[in-house]
Structure 1
Amino acid sequence: MKTLLTSTAIALVAAGAGLAQQPAGTTEDIIVVTGTRSEGRTALQTLAPVDVISNAQLEANGSTELNVALNYAVPSFSFPQPSLTDGTDSVRPATLRGLGPDQTLTLVNGKRRHVSALVNLNGSVGRGSAAVDLNTIPTSAIGAVEVLRDGAAAQYGSDAIAGVINVRLREAREGGGATLTYGQNVTTVPLLSGDRDETDGETFTAAAWAGLPLGADGFLTISGEFRDRSATNRSGPDPRQQYPAAGDPREASFNRLNHRFGNPNARDITLLANAGIPFANGNELYGFASYQNREADSAGFYRRALDARNVLAIYPDGFLPLIAPEVEDYSVGGGLRAQLGEWSADASLVYGRNQIDYTIENTLNTTLGAASPTEFYAGRLAYSQAVANFDLVRQYAVDAFAGPLNVGLGLEARFENFEIGAGEPGSYIQGAFPGAPGSQVFPGFQPSNEVDASRESFSAYIDLEADLTSRLTVSVAGRYENYSDFGDTLNGRIAGRFELTDALALRGSVSTGFRAPSLHQSFFTSTATVFTGGVPFETGTFPVSSPVAIALGATPLEAETSVNYSLGAVFAAGGFALTIDAYRIEIDDRILLSENLNSPEVQAILPAGVTSARFFLNAADSTTEGVDIVASYGWSVENIGEFNATLGYNYNTVELSNIQSTGVLSSLTPPPTIFGRQSTLRLEEGTPRDKFILGLDWSRDRLGGFVRATRFGETLSPGTAAASDVQLSEQWVVDLEGNIDITSRVNFALGANNVFDTYPDNVPAGLNFNGILPFSSFSPAGFNGRYVYGRVRVNW
């Protein structure tokens, strides 16, 4: 770390010396509210790095998904798009700085957002986590997104180890707009067996927003979005024998593209409202509410006609089972900002809920034989959260300081609930015939899996910030939290910013943080068919309090704890801005999901029908080191137009240490691996080592456009042994768009994401499931190829 920080400091001085040659001028002031409780701080004046992504930047993308837009706007943000990962196909997690999806706190209008009910259980990035689904927020409703890239648990509480994403909703009392976007993938899929042309992934999005007046000065901004996306398929042909009898003539006519590997079908309807009513005395009522309904379906592995899990009387040619979750997500919040003497007070209450109901289609329960239904309701997951906040801020004049002392005080109470509801009996029962019980691809939740678990937490914080001199700003924060299930924690943060010159400043921080174990990690339980080394196992996920987990040595989960160090600099002059920030994040007691344990000793203590077990535990420590570089420069050329160039770069490494087992398992001969090579490398190298984003925007009169090149660095798709690792080479993705103002209110755009139709490396033969799965789900840019689109936008 010392070498990293020293190298960064040298780079900063060199950059400052070289950039001082730029013509004098001022940069646009962008006021931020994330990471500071002092009013009026701009993105370049903050004590920690904050990226501000405007609505225009979010919409400069063919995709209308917020997670995709952020993946091409924030260099330390990663959003792989896995497939064949059950519910994770439809509720995909994102990461910041290579850490877990649940180690970044998400806020909406500065208020804590509820997480998804989904637990990511399969072998994707973020395995074992439950995180906020950012795609429940339509981009048309967003004014800007602020990404604080620094540990902030002392300011905001649990989950803010990697940083904070704050979605600031649009505020308007007049005007509005409507946007229609249509696109599809037009691509050539490079397969080891030969290229295949595809046109799929048809996506239609209709979005609109309108600003309405509330009273003399208030506003009500309403946004809505409808998105209908068809599935993509990047699977290779299945060369295997399909029918029980050798030489069956149907083999010659069988459609070998029997799998579906890519984006799922998805249909979203999203509504969001944001309102504020100021009063003459300076007080303000505010509120916001959101709702989304998402219907999706993703595929599992194809069951061939000869498969023992098939019933020929129902599916004589085999079948492709589909997982079809319906996600219902809503949130409502409101509060009052008021003056209490010299104090500015903010009292708020926010409630949110996410529920996932699983229907399994085109399937069967083998053990029911020919009488089996082909569709089952498999149960539900639900998570809800209520958060009450009371915050106070005021300024004190201190003679010894160059500026006032800003004092922030606050209290927070949070209530959480996690539920699992059972499916219909046919989705999980063992019938009279042999085979794996339950609906194929996703057995339903059983009555024994039902959970209704809750907890409460209470916290108090203090946040101090002041300009000690005309060039030195210092901030100190502390936060105490108490949880009903695991106890209390105390965390602190100190940060500073020093202006070397009017154009160049250094900044840095040291903080401690924590992440409370989620209710999902403490209480989730299920039984599902999981493939290990190509062999299916009926795998039980057991909560740490269950007799099975205790027999395997599980203990109550403790909170993850962290120490975050950062050192950086800011340079701004003449329309040019540059920030460079190095960081080190040390995390102890990371909560991770164990391997699927299936040794004879483990199987001896498992319930009937279950052949493998896994559970959560405080499994390891980790150290994350990296550097972020963000630069922008705007200029104009007479008779040519206005230009704005941007550069973003992130370099990031993660190293695990002190990997844990349990006393019970350690005593076995040989001891089973509780957290193995593949799981370790998934965390260490499953996201890109580095990432470049280079962009250029241009506009002149009625014309405009942009080109953006994103380079995703090397990524490892890990195997259980070195021979089964797949090293994914760097991949460039170039996006291009041109647009024209047809009238003063109507704009038309044509563009392409991944215009050169690049793909990640093919998975080598022998590791690609007979050529059926040609790409890795760890591919950081996905594997859908070129996407072309058109967009019409009308403003009023």
Structure 2
Amino acid sequence: MQKRRLATEKQVLALAIAALFAGDAAWAQEAAATDSNNVVVVTGTRVANRTALDTAAPVDIIGADSLKNAGSTELNQALSVALPSLNFPRPALTDGTDTIRPATLRGMAPDQSLVLVNSKRRHASSLVNLNGSIGRGSAAVDLNTIPTAIVKNIEVLRDGAAAQYGSDAIAGVVNIRLRTDRTGGEGTITYGARITEYDLKNDNPPAGGTWAGPSSRKRTDGQTGTVSAWKGLAWGDTGYVVLAAEYKDQAHTERSGYDMRQQYAKVNGAYDPRELTINRFNAWYGDPEMKQSTLFVNAGNTYGDVKVYGWASYQNRDARSAGYFRPPQDSRNIQSIYPNGFLPIIAPQVVDYSALAGATWTSGAWDIDASLGYGRNEMTFDIQNTLNASIGPSSKTDFDAGGFAYDQTVFNLTGVRTADVAGLASPLNIAIGTEARREGYQLHAGEPDSYRYGGVVLPNGTPAAPGSQVFPGFRPANATNAHRSALGAFVDLEANLTKELLASVAVRGEHYTDFGNNLSGKLSARYDFSKAFALRGSVQNGFRAPSPQQQNFTSTSTNFINGVPFEITTFKPTDPVAVALGAKPLKAEKSVNGSIGAVLRFDPVSITIDAYRITVKDRIILSENLTQANVRNYITSQGFIGVGGGRFFINGADTRNQGLDVVLNAPYNGGTAGHFDFTLAGNVNNTKVTRVMTTAQLAALNPAPSLFDRVNVLTLERGQPKNKITASMNWKLGAWASTVRATRYGEVLSPGTTPAFDILLSPKTVVDAEVRYTASKQLTFALGADNLFDTYPETLPPSLNTTGNTPFANFGPFGHSGRFVYARANYAF
């Protein structure tokens, strides 16, 4: 079977290369349009001049104005309010995930959607999300490394496309298309702040108890200033160079609760007077502090029959977020260093850069496209305002905890041509291509004091906690430098079989040096009964290769259990301890996607309705922390002394996602009342974990530990809105314009370890509004508010917020920072 599959992939690759050099990829044409439905799309089809409503799969187009006319300058946030099927939760107290927050499409994992820039694969971030939030275990592309100023539009294919684009395209594809202007430009200054009030009192205090703290709290924080600009320049007679730059300065938001814990030890049996004066709003719980600088350039020119193109980007992001507050008498504190306790700060620095160069030309009947691109994301951790309690009073308070990096090199060669075939109602569009990719993942250790045990024993005889508090550093034993390569080839055919029936088929073979081979196929069709009504659908199998981050991430911390030190580790799947517990080398996730939809056009109104079903087999998950006593004893019996267990990545679950997307667009010319554009869009999604595997080794233990417990199962099934509806209106009359948008987020479950600790987050509607005034041809002012009515999710009960630090669940789909009021000035030049 394996030999037959490899032979098939070699045949596909040979066919692709032979066809390419027999003749050449149409880099899909771009065209101006008056509305998004008539914009020529290049995502999901390799046929030139295909518009959004003419495709065999649903494609959303988000223009530059839609991205600009919002308070947030984050690309992920702008997409989440434009697309009901895309969600962007904003968890806090989640280490590096506070800084690089992933987005999801159709309820799938963040790494199950492919991100392209100008139809070329974008590199992922180096961060693996490890905490109990949406996207746990994934390493996704950080869309916020791309400034909105450089974006011409974004095409989102809501359909699986692994046969067309390769790994990761299970849920869909996000294709960011860059500006190609030869003239013009714009500078933008945006400044805003969170002006908000939130409730602290929970309606369900402990039985027989009362709420002792304040009932609400007013805040003005999260001040954010963004300065951005883009400029188009002519390069010779036909070329262009677009330069874009952005600087963002964001203060943190603080939505902590009132900490009612005893902070100081009693003095002669009486409470310390400082209990009455200490600040009990002692945590940062919200958005991180951030300073971010981004540069981006996109260029292209034509020399005879050859068009050259390329782009490059660089971003530096310095962020600061916090862990849980350590009270003065906490055993992890040293009061001679922090007499009033301390709030440890996690300060990641992210450096992200990329470059790509390519050329298109015509050879015979073929249009050829060749490109070579490189991208790298680095993340290092500085842990501030903390200590290593095991070292004692001489401990440092600032530690280099190490970090990691991911890099990707991609070569693409694609050929597109048309051929007249007897019996077809249109020329047959033929696309053949190959992609070679090399990926690398590196992890480096922190300084010794960030992870070592210094020998201090507490007065009660318990060893003090080792390592820098809140984030112990990576150890030399964790250091990794791993690489892999992948080679793929595809054939993509599309044509009208009859005047009414459009059909396409794609086949793609891939070979990975670390896990083997994959063959994917896709069949899609569309039947136009009339200009007003069409049906479309697709069926395909797809895959997602295990990421180098999932295969190679590892970290270790020392925990003392009954005074005995044990090493608790996130193991590589190939580590001998993980293998002893039943881990195996990771293999690709396999998916089967089916969709059926309708397109209705009642000029100028359009409606699209698309139902989908996505099943994933052998989904890669991060296991539970396996540190139970019987697990430790079993590990010891296998010859591993001092190992206290841990967790590892494993192909551990099967899932099924099914749902419905509906989009209605309706422009309206109101004459003297102005021009209106109405959009109503919705997504209904249901996720089910259909199988959770175990290992023979763990199943033999009594009691058998869970490999993937109810919290993580319910996070997949109910941790994202079961439905989401967006209604928006754009209005323009003379110098005035406005945008009003209401987004209703459906029910979400914040799961607990038992049903008694589950919290149901009820549906909430968030309203955004903006008013714009064009003072001159060049100058426009805007004033607006995101979350105008200051909506928050439910407040957690004290039983789930015992420290007072976290009054809201991290599963709130629109975050918990409240109203953001902003002003913006745009100057066109």
CA contact (8 A) 2:324 2:805 kept: no
**Do residues 203 (structure 1) and 219 (structure 2) align?**
no
Alignment of 1:518-533 (within 5 A): 518-528=547-557
Q: Taking structure 1 as reference, are residues 27 and 355 closer, same or farther at Cα in structure 2, changes over 3 Å only?
A: closer
Instruction: Please report how far the alpha carbon of residue 608 of structure 1 lies from its aligned counterpart in structure 2 after TM superposition.
Output: 7.3
CA contact (8 A) 1:294 1:326 kept: yes
1:484-511 alpha-carbon deviations (Å, 9 max, x no partner): 0110010100000100111110000001
**Do residues 242 (structure 1) and 258 (structure 2) align?**
no
Instruction: Please report how far the alpha carbon of residue 560 of structure 1 lies from its aligned counterpart in structure 2 after TM superposition.
Output: 0.3
Number of the residue aligned with 2:434:
411
CA contact (8 A) 2:36 2:63 kept: no
Q: Please report the TM-score for the alignment, with normalisation by the length of structure 1.
A: 0.95
**Do residues 105 (structure 1) and 129 (structure 2) align?**
no
Distance 2:474 2:40 in 1: 48
Instruction: Please report how far the alpha carbon of residue 49 of structure 1 lies from its aligned counterpart in structure 2 after TM superposition.
Output: 0.3
Instruction: Please report how far the alpha carbon of residue 531 of structure 1 lies from its aligned counterpart in structure 2 after TM superposition.
Output: 14
Number of the residue aligned with 2:98:
89
Identical residues among aligned pairs (%): 51
CA contact (8 A) 1:442 1:528 kept: no
Question: Tell me, what secondary structure is at the counterpart of 2:698?
Answer: helix
Q: Identify the match of residue 290 of structure 2 among 257, 266, 269.
A: 266
Number of the residue aligned with 2:250:
229
Number of the residue aligned with 2:616:
587
Instruction: Please report how far the alpha carbon of residue 313 of structure 1 lies from its aligned counterpart in structure 2 after TM superposition.
Output: 1.2
Number of the residue aligned with 2:174:
165
Number of the residue aligned with 1:345:
368
Q: Taking structure 1 as reference, are residues 660 and 596 closer, same or farther at Cα in structure 2, changes over 3 Å only?
A: same
Distance 2:162 2:557 in 1: 35
**Do residues 423 (structure 1) and 446 (structure 2) align?**
yes
Q: Identify the match of residue 328 of structure 2 among 287, 296, 305.
A: 305
Structure 2 gap ranges (5+):
1-33, 202-212, 457-462
Alignment of 1:321-332 (within 5 A): 321-332=344-355
Q: Taking structure 1 as reference, are residues 542 and 99 closer, same or farther at Cα in structure 2, changes over 3 Å only?
A: same
Number of the residue aligned with 1:467:
496
Number of the residue aligned with 1:73:
82
Instruction: Please report how far the alpha carbon of residue 772 of structure 1 lies from its aligned counterpart in structure 2 after TM superposition.
Output: 2.8
Instruction: Please report how far the alpha carbon of residue 538 of structure 1 lies from its aligned counterpart in structure 2 after TM superposition.
Output: 7.0
Number of the residue aligned with 2:67:
58
Distance 1:242 1:608 in 2: 38
Number of the residue aligned with 2:18:
none
Q: Identify the match of residue 712 of structure 1 among 727, 733, 745.
A: 745
Instruction: Please report how far the alpha carbon of residue 575 of structure 1 lies from its aligned counterpart in structure 2 after TM superposition.
Output: 1.2
1:134-170 alpha-carbon deviations (Å, 9 max, x no partner): 0000011100011000010000000000000000011
Number of the residue aligned with 1:318:
341
Q: Identify the match of residue 648 of structure 1 among 681, 684, 689.
A: 681
Distance 2:761 2:226 in 1: 32
Number of the residue aligned with 1:774:
807
User: What one-letter code is carried by the residue in structure 2 that aligns with 1:268?
Assistant: Q
Number of the residue aligned with 1:292:
315
Number of the residue aligned with 2:696:
663
Q: Taking structure 1 as reference, are residues 445 and 130 closer, same or farther at Cα in structure 2, changes over 3 Å only?
A: same
**Do residues 219 (structure 1) and 216 (structure 2) align?**
no
Q: Taking structure 1 as reference, are residues 81 and 531 closer, same or farther at Cα in structure 2, changes over 3 Å only?
A: farther
Instruction: Please report how far the alpha carbon of residue 765 of structure 1 lies from its aligned counterpart in structure 2 after TM superposition.
Output: 2.6
Q: Identify the match of residue 516 of structure 1 among 530, 536, 545.
A: 545
Alignment of 1:394-405 (within 5 A): 394-405=417-428
Number of the residue aligned with 2:526:
497
Question: Tell me, what secondary structure is at the counterpart of 1:412?
Answer: strand
Distance 1:531 1:47 in 2: 59
Q: Identify the match of residue 580 of structure 2 among 543, 551, 576.
A: 551
Instruction: Please report how far the alpha carbon of residue 658 of structure 1 lies from its aligned counterpart in structure 2 after TM superposition.
Output: 1.9
User: What one-letter code is carried by the residue in structure 2 that aligns with 1:613?
Assistant: G
Question: Tell me, what secondary structure is at the counterpart of 1:766?
Answer: helix
1:63-85 alpha-carbon deviations (Å, 9 max, x no partner): 00001101100000000000000
Q: Identify the match of residue 685 of structure 1 among 702, 710, 718.
A: 718
Instruction: Please report how far the alpha carbon of residue 638 of structure 1 lies from its aligned counterpart in structure 2 after TM superposition.
Output: 1.7
Instruction: Please report how far the alpha carbon of residue 279 of structure 1 lies from its aligned counterpart in structure 2 after TM superposition.
Output: 2.5
Q: Taking structure 1 as reference, are residues 770 and 361 closer, same or farther at Cα in structure 2, changes over 3 Å only?
A: closer
User: What one-letter code is carried by the residue in structure 2 that aligns with 1:438?
Assistant: G
**Do residues 49 (structure 1) and 58 (structure 2) align?**
yes
Distance 1:255 1:228 in 2: 27
Question: Tell me, what secondary structure is at the counterpart of 2:519?
Answer: strand
**Do residues 128 (structure 1) and 161 (structure 2) align?**
no
Number of the residue aligned with 1:20:
none
Number of the residue aligned with 2:304:
280
CA contact (8 A) 1:327 1:354 kept: yes
Distance 1:530 1:292 in 2: 37
User: What one-letter code is carried by the residue in structure 2 that aligns with 1:695?
Assistant: S
Number of the residue aligned with 1:371:
394
Number of the residue aligned with 1:735:
768
Instruction: Please report how far the alpha carbon of residue 423 of structure 1 lies from its aligned counterpart in structure 2 after TM superposition.
Output: 0.5
CA contact (8 A) 1:273 1:289 kept: yes
Distance 2:742 2:196 in 1: 18
Number of the residue aligned with 2:192:
183
Distance 2:39 2:559 in 1: 49
Distance 2:593 2:147 in 1: 32
Distance 1:786 1:609 in 2: 50
CA contact (8 A) 1:443 1:529 kept: no
CA contact (8 A) 1:363 1:440 kept: yes
Distance 2:35 2:318 in 1: 48
Q: Taking structure 1 as reference, are residues 86 and 608 closer, same or farther at Cα in structure 2, changes over 3 Å only?
A: farther
Question: Tell me, what secondary structure is at the counterpart of 1:399?
Answer: coil
User: What one-letter code is carried by the residue in structure 1 that aligns with 2:163?
Assistant: A
Question: Tell me, what secondary structure is at the counterpart of 2:54?
Answer: coil
CA contact (8 A) 1:436 1:538 kept: no
User: What one-letter code is carried by the residue in structure 1 that aligns with 2:542?
Assistant: G
Question: Tell me, what secondary structure is at the counterpart of 1:225?
Answer: strand
Distance 1:619 1:529 in 2: 27
CA contact (8 A) 1:27 1:576 kept: no
Equivalent residue pairs, number: 768
Number of the residue aligned with 2:359:
336
1:52-111 alpha-carbon deviations (Å, 9 max, x no partner): 000101112100000110110000000000000000000111100111000000000100
Distance 1:228 1:66 in 2: 16
Question: Tell me, what secondary structure is at the counterpart of 2:692?
Answer: coil
Alignment of 1:578-657 (within 5 A): 578-604=607-633, 605=635, 611-657=644-690
**Do residues 700 (structure 1) and 733 (structure 2) align?**
yes
Instruction: Please report how far the alpha carbon of residue 764 of structure 1 lies from its aligned counterpart in structure 2 after TM superposition.
Output: 2.1
1:658-681 alpha-carbon deviations (Å, 9 max, x no partner): 210111100001100111101100
Q: What's the C-alpha RMSD, in Å, of the aligned pairs?
A: 1.6
Q: Taking structure 1 as reference, are residues 387 and 56 closer, same or farther at Cα in structure 2, changes over 3 Å only?
A: same
**Do residues 571 (structure 1) and 604 (structure 2) align?**
no
Instruction: Please report how far the alpha carbon of residue 249 of structure 1 lies from its aligned counterpart in structure 2 after TM superposition.
Output: 1.4
Number of the residue aligned with 1:440:
469
Distance 2:632 2:317 in 1: 38
Q: Taking structure 1 as reference, are residues 93 and 539 closer, same or farther at Cα in structure 2, changes over 3 Å only?
A: farther
Q: Taking structure 1 as reference, are residues 152 and 712 closer, same or farther at Cα in structure 2, changes over 3 Å only?
A: same
Q: Taking structure 1 as reference, are residues 195 and 609 closer, same or farther at Cα in structure 2, changes over 3 Å only?
A: farther
1:403-446 alpha-carbon deviations (Å, 9 max, x no partner): 10000000100000001000111111111213221110000000
Distance 1:529 1:746 in 2: 59
CA contact (8 A) 1:181 1:790 kept: yes
Question: Tell me, what secondary structure is at the counterpart of 1:367?
Answer: coil
Number of the residue aligned with 1:22:
none
CA contact (8 A) 1:441 1:529 kept: no
Bigger Cα displacement from structure 2, 243-252 vs 383-392? 243-252
